[in-house]
Structure 1
Amino acid sequence: MATAASQPEDRPGELVSREELERYAEAVLHGCLGLRADDALIVQARPEHRDLVGALAESAYRGGARLVEVVYAEAGVRAARLRHAREEHLGTVAPWQLARARAELEPDTCSLTVLGEDERELDGVDPERVATDFRRTAQALRPFARASRQGKRRWTGLAWPTPEWASRVYPELEPLEAERLLARDLLHFCRLGPSDPPGHEGWKRHTARLLERGRRLTELDLRRLELRAPGTALDLRVPAGARWLGGPRRTAHGSVVAGNFPTEENFTSPEAASTEGTFRCSRPLSFGGRVIEGIRGEFRRGKLVRLEADREDDRRLLAATLDLDAGARRLGEVALVDRSSRIGQTGRTYFTTLLDENAAAHIAFGFGFDQARTPDEARGSRGVNRSALHLDVMVGTDDLEATGVTQDGRRVPLIRGGEWQVAHG
């Protein structure tokens, strides 16, 4: 964990040294995306990320990329649309956005999304309008989301500080110092800190361990999962042929891609109709321009039948979002993370799902992953959830207990006292 944010000597006022920024960019492109000569790269970011975007472009072109296309998103534009656009215009997706989404499925195209949002920018927006915009956008992009979960998209999500986001994570610091410390955190989480191996070797070793643990979990051939934590008692079924994933995955085009930078999870897709029991979120959820506290609920026969949150308007936003389609109130993912997670060890909430879901075990409403099944099982009636939604909520705690049950009834401890009981090699 970073404990100090030293000022880069060669670029006063910047977040990290030029060498650290270049190392981060190289790790993203070559340790996550597997960028190849003649590839096209699409980068979606915010204007505050221009230094990182420049480093990504330099690294990509040095690596032989034929094109780097940058799409900047201005946060205030989204907020203005949600506040003032006519109701029938919410969820409008531009034709060129659809064309870009289609291009991202080509085998010689890869894409990055740089996160750094401040959810407070949507304070005061009617939650029903936020949910309507989300539902309509998800439906418009549904074919591309389906192709992505089938492994047809080379994409990585990463994060880089903005002043607003950093001040949310480190409110006790001045904005620039908060940004610097958050940048140090990100390097540490991605195994790019001063105590990690050179280049992105530390990242490669870490993701190799996740791959190996996923292989061992798959070999157990578990048929049921039990999650127990304060406020959480969930039982889930896992079909024959289920796979546990973690770390990089091979796409349908043969590329090896790590979708999250950083990552700490091993996960699978349970049977969508199987979940029984109660859950209570252990961390806030940043969603729809809000930080939602106190999420809790109950499943029966696989479907969410009770949903609560500390604030009623937050509950209404979640409930409206979960009305997207028939699968949105069922689970598509269960992911296990123990307390060795570098993110979890900080004890901080980072107000972005990319980081917070890798701090603790979590479940996800909505779509699951075809790669978490053998091909026959993915096509069958007991295959993955086909919803257009995917919404992660964190349920893990330091005293989480996760137990697997095999076909012959043998109980296998997976996590005890917040620590993995399944070796990674």
Structure 2
Amino acid sequence: MEYIRPQMEAMGIGHVPWTVVGVPIPAWVSSVFPDDDAEEAEERLWQAILRATRIDTPDPVAGWRAHIADLEARAAHLDSRDYRRLRYEGPGTDLVLGMTDRARWGGGGMTTPAGKRFAPNLPTEEVFTSPHRMRAEGTVRATKPLSYFGDLIEDFSFELSEGKVVGSHAGVGEATLRAILGSDDGAVRFGEAAMVPQSGAVAAEHLVWKNILYDENDACHIALGQSYASCYDGADALSPDERLEVGLNRSSVHVDFVLGSPELSVFGVLDDGSEEPIIAAGEWGFSV
């Protein structure tokens, strides 16, 4: 990750078009469907992917354009609200994330400075932002396993104070979790907060995908590590150190974990302390 940092930063701010996709290989197939015949399991996973990526529809391109437009409209709505904090409540989760002073929301597609439109993730169900790296307080519990380069982390949680993970626990994969947190100084802070409804195409498959591209689009998630510079208005003009000063996190890792469920609600907190639902019991809490 250190060697490709310039590429990752260019991707994160939308200077180059890119897309992340995931297709079956034997090890992945067998981890998702361990009791199935290998050929049947591969076909099952392919079919799940085609549904999750909306390819099984009569006009996938039109469907994707409509889906991206919906996500972008939701991001624009959240931009207009200018929330100062995000408050999460759910089983094992009681968390407040502070926002930067020029926070932006993203989702759906992106546009390069040259005007090239692209969808960075297939599938995608999320609308996301980068919270202030020094403003996280409370506890958060993951609701899905995290597969990290083949190692599975399960039943894990974090305690945060002043933006930093000060305590963690994992029922399975404790050593791997500690290795992630020990990657560098930024690995113990949050770089992304993403809203994902339970009614999305990925969640409809009811799978533990064991692949974060799919699992993160199953429900709301948060990422340890690197922030997205595109989630701060004016980040293009800032040096790496200036981005740190305004609250964007810097790390060699960006590790998403899922905390969403039908029991999770997320509220946007305004300057006057009033709250508005963003996610209500696992679904969008607002209309666009």
Q: Shorter-chain-normalised TM-score: which range?
A: over 0.9
Give percent identity, aligned residues only.
Answer: 37
Instruction: Say if 2:91 is the partner of 1:230.
Output: yes
Q: Deviation of residue 259 (structure 1)?
A: 1.1
Letter in 2 for 1:166: V
- Paired position in structure 2 for 1:78: none
CA contact (8 A) 2:134 2:247 kept: no
Q: Secondary structure at the match of 1:157?
A: coil
User: Which consecutive unaligned segments of at least 5 residues does structure 2 have?
Assistant: none
The structure with more radius of gyration: 1
- Paired position in structure 1 for 2:210: 351
- Paired position in structure 2 for 1:386: 250
- Paired position in structure 2 for 1:185: 48
Q: Deviation of residue 350 (structure 1)?
A: 0.5
Q: Secondary structure at the match of 2:8?
A: helix
Instruction: Say if 2:277 is the partner of 1:416.
Output: no
Q: Deviation of residue 331 (structure 1)?
A: 0.4
RMSD of aligned Cα (Å): 1.7
Alignment partners' CA distance in 1, 2:60 and 2:183: 43
Q: Deviation of residue 378 (structure 1)?
A: 7.5
2:6 to 118, 122, 143: 143
Structure 2 length-normalised TM:
0.93
1:265 to 114, 126, 129: 126
Structure 1 length-normalised TM:
0.64
CA contact (8 A) 2:54 2:60 kept: no
> RCO (CA 8 Å, sep 6+): is it higher in 1 or 2?
2
- Paired position in structure 2 for 1:280: 141
Matches within 5 A, 1:102-141: 138-141=1-4
Instruction: Say if 2:174 is the partner of 1:315.
Output: yes
- Paired position in structure 1 for 2:19: 156
Q: Which has more strand, going by share of residues?
A: 2
1:256 to 107, 117, 121: 117
- Paired position in structure 2 for 1:201: 62
Matches within 5 A, 1:323-362: 323-362=182-221
CA contact (8 A) 2:221 2:258 kept: yes
Number of residue pairs the alignment of both structures matches: 283
CA contact (8 A) 2:96 2:138 kept: yes
Residues 168-205 of structure 1: per-residue CA shift (max 9 Å, x gap) = 22233221111112111111111121xx2424211111
Matches within 5 A, 1:51-66: none
- Paired position in structure 2 for 1:168: 31
CA contact (8 A) 1:341 1:359 kept: yes
User: CA 1:242–1:198 in structure 2 vs 1: closer, same or farther (change >3 Å)?
Assistant: same
Moved >3 Å (runs of 4+): 376-380
Q: Secondary structure at the match of 1:182?
A: helix
Alignment partners' CA distance in 1, 2:267 and 2:246: 22
Q: Secondary structure at the match of 1:153?
A: coil
User: CA 1:230–1:378 in structure 2 vs 1: closer, same or farther (change >3 Å)?
Assistant: farther
Q: Which has more helix, going by share of residues?
A: 1
Residues 325-356 of structure 1: per-residue CA shift (max 9 Å, x gap) = 22111000000111111211222100000000
User: CA 1:293–1:378 in structure 2 vs 1: closer, same or farther (change >3 Å)?
Assistant: farther
User: CA 1:323–1:260 in structure 2 vs 1: closer, same or farther (change >3 Å)?
Assistant: same
CA contact (8 A) 1:241 1:377 kept: no
Instruction: Say if 2:82 is the partner of 1:221.
Output: yes
User: Which consecutive unaligned segments of at least 5 residues does structure 1 have?
Assistant: 1-137
CA contact (8 A) 1:338 1:419 kept: yes
